[in-house]
Amino acid sequence: PPRRGVGCRISVEASQAEADQFIVILELDGGVAGTAPAVLVLCDGDDHCHRFPLPSPHRGVIQFIVRADDAILPLLRDPGTEALLR
């Protein structure tokens, strides 16, 4: 299910083209206004923070493809992970 991060709404969808790929979608709260974030920071329950570079947004939405074994997916699935944009 979608989740809230600081400054965004985050969802993950299975790719229609490749079975082992997922699309991470970040809908920015400010839409197209303001400076675009460059990094998604995910902090787990043990206060370990992981940084993921972001592509440029298009109309207030950032999308990128990850493989099923990418480290970002378990972090996004964990309700205890805090998400921040930088």
Which pair of structure tokens corresponds to residue 60?
A: 């207030």
pLDDT the model gives residue 34: 72
Q: What is the 3-state secondary structure (H, E, C) of the chain?
A: CCEEEECEEEEEEECCCCCCEEEEEEEECCCCCCCCCCEEEEECCCCCEEEEECCCCECCEEEEEEECCCCHHHHHHCCCCEEEEC
Q: Which amino acid is at 22?
A: F
Q: What is the pLDDT along the chain (86 residues), one digit of tens a residue?
A: 789 988 899 999 999 999 999 999 999 997 766 788 999 999 999 999 999 999 999 999 999 999 999 999 999 999 999 999 99
pTM of the predicted structure, to 2 decimals: 0.91
Which pair of structure tokens corresponds to residue 66?
A: 């990850």
pLDDT the model gives residue 32: 63
